[in-house]
Chain A
Amino acid sequence: MEQSLALLGLNHKSAPLDIRERLALLSASELAKRIKAEGTKEAAVLSTCNRFEVYFMPAGEAVETVGNRITALLEQISGAALSRYAYRFGGEDAVKHLFEVSSGLDSLVVGESEILGQVKDAYETARAADMTGKYFNVLFQRALYVGKKVRSETGVAIGQTSVASVSVQLAHTIFGGLQGATALVVGAGSMAETTARHLISQKILRLTVVNRTWEKARALAAQFLAEAVPWDSLPSALERADIVIASTSAERPILTREMIQEAAKTRQGRSLFILDIAMPRNVEEGAHGIDHVYVYRLEDLESVVADNMKKRGVELDRARGIVSEKVREFGLWEKSLGSGREASFKHSDIQEPSRIS
């Protein structure tokens, strides 16, 4: 019987959180040894909080039989009924799945790069436990290579698809690095908080909070380890800010054109990025016309999000194209193993590490 790769797994789409959590707790190296005892020639366990997958090659018995035994073993250890949530792939489909996983195409946040490191860990753990042979060595090295290639040649990871992350991305196109930037939150609200949190994750220099109600400003500031300033100081806070998040429930614009013009004068041409995410608007429309002032309203940000969603479709197609091409290549290599003359992979398409732009 011809040897073939098999996969048994579950992920964030197929299984509920509590089931995934129970599996995530298991020790991968411990599991590896026990899976080997179930009649596999080579095996690796990929375990993250969003997925649990066992890749294996049966030692002689039918894939089905070995797969059932592994499921039974996992159910016994975890105490959860897994067969309802698990998917099984064999042969080329299993290879394709692994390449998609390493490329971030099967991730919750599509294109995220953490998974690449997790695939690498899974491989290294298996190798350390002496559970990989030639087939798995080549398979996993190819998976890592494909993951890198997809990330460097397609934009799967760059199209941001939330208002907060688009705001941060736009801030980068204006200021570059945000390490020296000061952000000002005017008002409160969950979207303002999320955006502020995203900015903080970019290691901004300073965050200032201002609110008509001093207590609210203080509370929000405390939450972010930021500085609260009284409402009267809004104009001077505006002068110091590079990024302003306006999110008050005021009926009329609280940031008037005149006020922003005054602040802009003292800024000597340094850009001022204002996010007006309030409904109704907090920023007078004319303000966008001032030199070096960029006012993005909620609808502008949402249209960028919608655009990115669309573009991401194209990038996903390109990524899938690369994956299928590499799966086909791997299939050729696999066939050549049986013929006694092993094919080699093209290395001409291996790129240098991508350059920073």
Chain B
Amino acid sequence: MNYEVVFLKGALAFYALATAAAFVYLYNKDDKWSSWMFRLVGVGLALHLVSFGFGMHYFWKIPDNRYYFPINSFFGALSFLSLATVAVFFLIESRHQLGILGAFVLPWAVVGTGSAIIFANPAAEGLVPALQNYWINIHPVVLMTAYAAFGNAFGVGVALLIQEHQIKSRKPSELCYRLPSIEDLDDLNYRIIVWAFPVLTVGIIMGGIWAYSAWGRFWGWDPKETWALITALVYAGYLHMRFVKGWRGKKAVYVSMLGFACVLFTFLGVNYLSPLHGYLSGGG
């Protein structure tokens, strides 16, 4: 039996329950549901960590893989990305206690772990020699942590647009009083991105350093590299708008959402285009 998958299914179940609790909380102001959501997410996260531990255990049975992170497969990458998303959410939630954000962030964790289980092959594969390098423990991990944070920012952005729409309608519903204020959501969106952007940049630079040591060049306009750069530029644009021009609110949030679309494309779409980063889709 593959315990990595078993525990991941358990985590998925708890994420799904937590998402359900988050949605119940949206429509029923009972704080009980938001604290249940928090607990369910906690259990899901613990199961997910165990799953990842088993993943590592299976991966290291292949001697060449030893002490590298099991994120060379689509399964491993999706699992890790969801884990990071939930972990970032858990962190934000425990600091800000905006129970309401669960409804906007946790669905991503469900989709991530769910597609890993349904679409990806969990079998541990040997690392190709090119990837047998300590950078694989750093470069993708750092980038995916940034992606996870951007995913959370996206959830905050969705909440902001809903809240903005509510107030603009002049007929605010119950939801309006449940959601954090426009300005608070705007601040949180900014704070997450201002933290995640340097992580993304460092991750990209690390990729360059690895590329230099492996292939003798820092940058090669591989589609993954190009799209990572585009993502970074879009978020830099957002930060410029916020920081230098002082723009806030809806327009700035649209830019940050465009950034997240780039993240998704860099993570998923480019795998089919990129000769060098294609390992995630089984190529390379």
Contact = CB atoms under 8 A, between A and B. Distances in A.
Q: Give the one of B31, B100, B252 with max A CB within 10 A.
A: B31
B32 A153 contact: yes
* Interface size of B as a range: 35 or more
A158 B178 CA distance: 11
Interface in B231-253: 245-252
B-side binding surface: helix, strand, loop or mixed? helix
Nearest to B176: A173
Nearest to A355: B97
B54 to A, nearest CB: 33
B172 A304 contact: yes
A22 interface: no
Contacts of B170: 288, 296-297, 300
A176 B181 contact: yes
B182 A174 contact: yes
Contact of A351 (B32, B99, B100, B168): B32
B64 interface: no
Interface string B168-203: 101110101111111110000000000000000000
B217 interface: no
B128 interface: no
B256 interface: no
A355 B172 contact: no
B34 A169 contact: no
Contacts of A355: 31, 34-35, 97, 99
Contacts of A292: 248-250
B35 A269 contact: no
Contacts of B35: 351-352, 355
Given A268-B245, A271-B249, A357-B34, A173 B98 contact: no
Given A173-B167, A351-B32, A356 B181 contact: no
A197 interface: no
Interface string B88-113: 00000000011110000000000000
Contact of A311 (B174, B180, B250): B174
Interface of A: 152-153, 155, 158, 169-170, 172-176, 268-271, 288, 291-292, 294, 296-297, 300, 303-304, 311, 351-352, 354-357
Interface of B: 29-32, 34-35, 97-100, 163, 166-168, 170-172, 174, 176-184, 245-252
21 contacts: A153-B32, A172-B181, A173-B172, A173-B179, A173-B181, A174-B181, A174-B182, A174-B183, A175-B181, A175-B182, A176-B180, A176-B184, A268-B248, A269-B252, A270-B183, A291-B249, A297-B170, A300-B170, A303-B171, A304-B172, A355-B35
